[in-house]
Amino acid sequence: MILQPVPQFDSKSVPPSSPSGHAGATPIASAALRRVVEQTSKVILGKERQIRLALACLLSRGHLLIEDLPGVGKTTLAHVLARSLGLGFHRIQFTSDMLPADIIGVSIYDRESASFKFHPGPIFSQLVLADEVNRATPKTQSALLEAMEEHQVTAEGESRRLPEPFFVIATQNPSHQVGTFPLPESQLDRFQMRLELGYPDRAAERALLQGVDRRDLIASLEPCVTPAELLALQGAVRQVHVSPALVDYVQALVEYTRRSPDFVNGLSPRAALALVACSRAWATVEGRDRVIPEDVQAVLPGVAGHRLHPVVNGVRRTSSDIAVGLVEAVPIP
């Protein structure tokens, strides 16, 4: 058998709309998406695939975890996405002395009204960049993760809804770095997807070095979609068709992870749901109204990578290794 290379997606290889005549998602939506991708790609060079994945993650209403070494553009990506999507944006730099209130906000006694007034924290924003989330203590982390799960925060016994849409893009350094509190497994599961950016390739890096300052670029970015369009896009994602044959494939993948000797634990039902949701979003980003196995394969490393723990047999294996092995091992039914 010939081992297939990991499916490589770039905008050029996406085939033109099929001759049988079905258009993708609504044309306006796909045009808006294309603009977002194009604009982001101008800032983050040579990372179009990761940009699309990040976009898919947000469109599937999931939170994104970007894990990589410092300085490869994690923060910039989050920033650019926020600008391009026209979302309210807050950045929280996590540190070890940070308290939950620093995120959620505090009630302060207001002399004028003679009552406690709640000052919302930075989490009350449509897009929250939680930078270096693994530097904070578990307590602070769990405050963030609770907010991510519930889309609301509870302070002083009162629940407050977070704005809609609400996304968290968290970045973390690889956990073997010193002074970090790695996110526990149960909380990693809250992130729909985990991405690794990696170093840019030679050409991209050259362009980066020769080009304008990124900060100036970001400042000059204009939103590509209106909030209404974004909501419509999210609605379109939910409309993407998932056929029984595709569900078979997802089930085959999940069942394989559960019985394979390569993993400590298999994928949870929540992970399977995330896989389907991200596949739908990816299909939307690709401009299709149905999910095909390639979509599942495209998002699988991001969705499954942080949820599967390989049984280490001496060789260190990265999450994308795992996903590639998984794709290879499970035939498409």
Angle between helices 244-259 and 269-285 in degrees, nearest 10: 140
The span of 1-9, 44-52, 67-75, 196-204 binding another protein (CB under 8 A) equals: 1-9
- DSSP character string of 248-262: HHHHHHHHHHHH-TT
> Among 127, 246, 276, 304, which residue sits at the site for another protein (rule: CB under 8 A)?
246
User: In the 8-state DSSP scheme, what is residue 158?
Assistant: E
> Nearest approach, Cβ of 125 to another protein (angstroms)?
25
Dihedral angle over CA of 193, 198, 203, 208, nearest 10: 90
268 to 185, 296, 322: CA distances (angstroms) = 12, 16, 16
235 lies in the binding site for another protein (CB under 8 A)? no
Find the binding residues for another protein in span 5-24 (CB under 8 A).
Answer: 7, 13, 15, 18-20, 22
In the bound state with another protein, the residue whose beta carbon lies nearer, of 33 and 291, is 291
In the bound state with another protein, the residue whose beta carbon lies nearer, of 210 and 313, is 313
Find the binding residues for another protein in span 146-185 (CB under 8 A).
Answer: 181
In the bound state with another protein, the residue whose beta carbon lies nearer, of 220 and 239, is 239
261 lies in the binding site for another protein (CB under 8 A)? yes
26 lies in the binding site for another protein (CB under 8 A)? no
186 lies in the binding site for another protein (CB under 8 A)? no
Label residues 301-332 b or e (16+ Cβ within 10 Å = b): bbbbbbbbebeeeeeeeebbebbbbbbeebee
- Residues contacting another protein: total by CB under 8 A: 40
Find the binding residues for another protein in span 42-101 (CB under 8 A).
Answer: 96-97
211 contacts: CB under 8 Å, gap ≥ 6: 45, 217
> Nearest approach, Cβ of 284 to another protein (angstroms)?
14
Token pair 């009630």: residue: 107
User: In the 8-state DSSP scheme, what is residue 71?
Assistant: T
Interface residues with another protein (CB under 8 A)?
1-4, 7, 13, 15, 18-20, 22, 96-97, 137-139, 181, 241, 243, 245-246, 256, 259-261, 289-294, 297, 313-314, 327-332
